Chain A
């Protein structure tokens, strides 16, 4: 017997809320801090203006620590996917029931949207006009397909670690949350200034919705990047791990 779907729905929503509020929120605060420092190149939108790659490491750690906290809190309740790509990958490899996929994704999108809207309310208009609520988009010189590939590769690593550190029964117990959080921080440090390093359709959905509702900024043309890339990457990683590391 598992926890009821209603309780798991709430856990997924709150977990994704934590991820977006603190993770995407860190990107907003970085952009607000960098205002007026000047733009050295079109490749530099402000994150990195003060601390170079250290800015991205800080944002990555904000995401990673929030994710680790959510995993240790809600991992036993809902599984704490807080990412539709992870939910779909677990479903695709037969580990998660199909009837729960829709409610889980709905909860994740709801939690992300609530986080972005509440963050905008708490910080004020600058969070939207300067910080863009931490929305992700391909950076200067990164094409649409390149962005999909980068998101897919980043999520591939994330899902591979989830498989190895958490799903595999031989994994050392208790470390999954910490390792998954640190891996997210590492991926964001490298790919943050390429695509925003979403790795998660819900994480992009929240800021996009907030920007659209509060400032009329329409970024939805980029949304398929953050749906297709993460799902391809996560499903590929789960299938690869099953074939490499399970069985004989």
Chain B
């Protein structure tokens, strides 16, 4: 699979990841890794943050849509 963003720019590069939201193939340059905290538990016990965050791979467009950046 090729990187969609690079293809738009007329370049060709191998995809190393896929956006978890839209499924777009992404090269390292266009990959955004967003670590998300995971919480477990809750009423009637305080919720607890799991030590390791959950990694999420996003393309720049989905990242901007989700996080407004």
Q: Using a CB–CB distance below 8 Å, which chain A residues touch chain B? A: 1-3, 8, 71, 75-81, 86, 90, 95-96, 162, 166-167, 176-177
Contact = CB atoms under 8 A, between A and B. Distances in A.
A238 to B, nearest CB: 10
Majority secondary structure of chain B interface residues (helix, strand, loop or mixed): loop
A3 B44 contact: no
Interface of B: 39, 42-49, 51
Which of B43, B47, B51 is the most central at the interface, judged by chain A CB atoms within 10 Å of its CB? B43
A76 B42 contact: yes
A96 B45 contact: yes
A233 to B, nearest CB: 16
A1 B51 contact: yes
Q: Which 10 A-B pairs have the closest CB atoms?
A: A75-B43, A76-B47, A76-B42, A2-B46, A79-B45, A79-B44, A1-B49, A79-B46, A2-B48, A166-B43
A53 B46 CA distance: 36
A176 B43 CA distance: 8
Contacts of A90: 44-45
Contacts of A86: 44
Nearest to B44: A79
Nearest to A3: B46
A166 B48 contact: no
A78 B42 CA distance: 8
A78 B41 CA distance: 11
A76 B43 contact: yes
A170 to B, nearest CB: 15
A195 to B, nearest CB: 24
Contacts of A81: 44
Nearest to B43: A75
Nearest to B41: A76
Nearest to A5: B46
